[in-house]
Amino acid sequence: MTSFSAPIAEQIWDMKYRFKDASGKPIDETVEDSWRRVARALAKVENKPDVWEERFYDALEGFKFLPAGRILAGAGTERSVTLFNCFVMGTIPDSMAGIFDMLKEAALTMQQGGGIGYDFSPIRPKGAEVKGVAADASGPLSFMDVWDAMCRTIMSAGSRRGAMMATMRCDHPDVEDFITAKQDSARLRMFNLSVLVSDPFMEAVKEDGPWELTWGDKVYKTVQARDLWNRIMQSTYDYAEPGVIFIDRINQKNNLNYCETIAATNPCGEQPLPPYGACLLGSINLATLIENAFEGNAALNENALDDLVATAVRMMDNVVDASQFPLEEQRVEAHAKRRIGLGVTGLADALLMVGARYGSEEGATLTEDWMGRIARAAYRASARLAEEKGAFPLYDAKAFLDNDSMTSMDEETRALVAEHGIRNALLTSVAPTGTISLYAGNVSSGIEPVFAYSYTRKVLQNDGSRSEEEVVDYAVDLWRQKFGDKELPDYFVNAQTLAPLDHVRMQAAAQKWIDSSISKTINCPEDISFEDFKEVYMAAWDQGCKGCTTYRPNDVTGSVLSVSEETDTAPEIDTGADVVYIAEPLDRPEALDGHTYKMKWPESEHAIYITINDIIQNNQRRPFEVFINSKNMEHYAWTLALTRMISAVFRRGGDVSFVVEELKAVFDPRGGAWVRGKYIPSMLAAIGSVIEEHMIRIGFINGEGQHLKTDPHAEIIQMNSPARGKSCPSCGGMGLQMVEGCMTCLDCGHSKCG
């Protein structure tokens, strides 16, 4: 397939974006078929679909325009999935019924493949009075645990885990607990966390003034703003979370501040959205638009950029009409405002190709110029679409023309919008593009610097073996084609060596022309001082960014962005770019050896019997199928489903030990149980432990927890210790005591008496 410049690109396409039938048989024979499928699907809403299909195909051809993965994988397949990448859900009511209604909506949205964001600030703080039930509130973090458990059980469309963003205002009484919540290695693993930081708070930080934590009309606590800021900084310094969102700036600069208020973002932060807001994403591949790369006259083809942007805007606008939506409220919101998020990828490669150093003043100036041209082209294209198809329904001419985006525009663009209105309320955003950048030949991702010039990745093959292949950055590969082994110039920099404030400079340069926001990680060296680390965030605030996310490798967070100096290879823990082939199912022999395990779950009337049968492959015994049986009919449906799913995975071969990790991580919000001296967070986790025990027994893995990335529940508790009582069935704590004739947990308040 000559369209692919690297093996990894074809592998990503085959695994993520290639249309296949239910049995896995390819329907898209080539990537050109995929482009044709997407172009045809998005042209169907046009008056002249044949004409626009060709124009859309031309934009996709050669990886010039990269619709986000949901569009590439879903458009034209007639599958019941959304083509939108991200959602912010409705405002959470401060009531038990309302909270769980929101949980249901979140589950339905993730079921169709959408990442979601929530602001948990509306939920009353822990300890607040709950009128009418003579109880105290458990607080927003307790409900975040419920969301986290739900997310663990839902696999998003395209084989992607559901992703969630949780935000909390800097003046919420529980914000201190929110800041440190993920320091517990077993908690809120499915969430990204960000604090909503207001302008008054930042002013109080700079002045070292007091700061009130309030909810409703009540002041719960007064702290020093700088102390709270330092707690945020210390947590992200040590644990890489929470992020910081400058929420007042986002609302002030929002094109729609006259008709909406934003309090949350999508999981990666590039889309601040109102309740039920949805946005679709796509990226212009700048690396494909550089002419005469590495020559003295290298430059971005601006006319080609303008044409490509105009076509991309039209394609993305059509997605609004072509897509399904998990909820009716999301459909109404999307059609009322027709938000799109057009961004870029390959920026760092494009800068290298014109001889500019990423992070330098020259690089920042070029970035600002290119992003400005994209913004102007997008707004003009949207105005012309409004002339043809109508402005978005909530368009208000005076209010819109007075927003920050429009007052920054040139007169020609302003005149077009004033005359015709505009089709899309917001148009620009910079999303994370890691996977589609690999698909496009390993161009640099989004506006990030080059990760590494090259690295070696291990690929799991059909027979279970691993092969190694070199992954080369797009610009570096082009340099090699032109100049062979000639030494790279000094302006070639990468994420390993770039100074943090250079990252901030680039984010700020791009932000000037982005009407939504930017997903960017500012990589900091492990040995950066805490004071210098804090300066990164303050620089982001001072330079006009809408948020800031950093990553500092350390013993707690690991080192996902590192390259060995000796071998120039990525470490094995860097699995983000790895591709795992799913082989054809293994044939089942007539007879299989296996073992049956009896599992008794506390408070369950009947035991569960788990049978695991094995085969021999490459002289190694490995699990092949699972049968889970119980006399309890309440268990029938989910045990049957689990039997089929796990067996299907086992029959594909390869390293299937991840099944144990996934099951052992399932948390039951109703509480787990203590089994043989160990706290098990759910019945599913207990089944995972049985499968792990079997894998150890047959020699498929070496020992308990050794194959897992994390095994947060592996701590052994001595049940006969005189210092401990019985375990609480709700929280797992050892604080059960007899109180007023009833067993009551002193840790969480659970009572057998109701």
| Residue 604 confidence class, pLDDT cut points 50, 70, 90 | low
Model confidence over 353-372: pLDDT tens digits?
999 999 999 999 999 999 99
| Average pLDDT for 103-109 | 88
Inter-residue contact 514 to 430 (CB < 8 Å): yes
Length of the chain counted residue by residue: 754
State CA 660 to chain mean position distance: 23
| Average pLDDT for 344-348 | 97
| Residue 437 confidence class, pLDDT cut points 50, 70, 90 | very high
- As a whole number, the mean pLDDT across the chain is 85
Distance CA 454, CA 569 (A): 7
Q: At residue 418, what is the residue type?
A: A
In the prediction, which pLDDT does 98 show?
A: 93
**Looking at the predicted structure, is the pLDDT value of residue 572 above 80?**
no
| Average pLDDT for 396-407 | 96
Residues of the chain with CATH 3.20.70.20: 58-64+283-523+533-545+553-582, 86-264
| Residue 601 confidence class, pLDDT cut points 50, 70, 90 | confident
Over the range 222-248, which residues count as b (16 or more CB within 10 Å of their CB) and which as e?
A: ebebbebbebbbebbbbbbbbbbbbbe
Distance CA 718, CA 736 (A): 16
DSSP strand pairing (608-617 vs 620-630): antiparallel
Model confidence over 731-752: pLDDT tens digits?
444 444 444 434 445 444 444 4
Model confidence over 669-693: pLDDT tens digits?
666 777 766 778 888 888 998 999 9
Inter-residue contact 649 to 656 (CB < 8 Å): yes
**Looking at the predicted structure, is the pLDDT value of residue 563 above 60?**
no
- 716 or 318: which leads in pLDDT: 318
In the prediction, which pLDDT does 637 show?
A: 78
In the prediction, which pLDDT does 679 show?
A: 73
Distance CA 595, CA 480 (A): 56
- 191 or 734: which leads in pLDDT: 191
Over the range 580-619, which residues count as b (16 or more CB within 10 Å of their CB) and which as e?
A: eeeeeeeeeeeeeebeebebebeeeeeebebebbbbeeee
Q: Which residues belong to the active site?
A: 266, 268, 270
**Looking at the predicted structure, is the pLDDT value of residue 388 above 60?**
yes
Q: Name residues whose C-beta falls within 8 Å of residue 393's C-beta, 6 or more positions apart in sequence.
A: 335, 336, 337
- 85 or 226: which leads in pLDDT: 226
**Looking at the predicted structure, is the pLDDT value of residue 626 above 50?**
yes
Inter-residue contact 144 to 190 (CB < 8 Å): no
In the prediction, which pLDDT does 185 show?
A: 76
DSSP 182: G
| Average pLDDT for 5-27 | 89
Q: At residue 209, what is the residue type?
A: G
In the prediction, which pLDDT does 580 show?
A: 39
Give the CA angle between residues 251, 255, 259 to the nearest 5°: 75
Q: Which of 3-7, 175-179, 245-249, 521-525 has the lowest mean pLDDT?
A: 3-7
| Average pLDDT for 232-261 | 96
Model confidence over 475-506: pLDDT tens digits?
999 999 999 989 999 999 988 789 999 999 99
In the prediction, which pLDDT does 719 show?
A: 30
Distance CA 368, CA 518 (A): 14
In the prediction, which pLDDT does 463 show?
A: 62
CATH number for the domain running over 86-264: 3.20.70.20
In the prediction, which pLDDT does 631 show?
A: 74
Q: Write down the pTM of the prediction.
A: 0.75
In the prediction, which pLDDT does 726 show?
A: 47
Distance CA 211, CA 483 (A): 59
Q: Which CATH number fits domain 58-64+283-523+533-545+553-582: 3.40.50.620, 3.20.70.20, 3.40.50.150, 2.40.30.10?
A: 3.20.70.20
Whether residue 242 has a cis bond before it, omega within 30° of 0: yes
Find tokens 């969430």 and name the residue: 191
Distance CA 703, CA 217 (A): 55
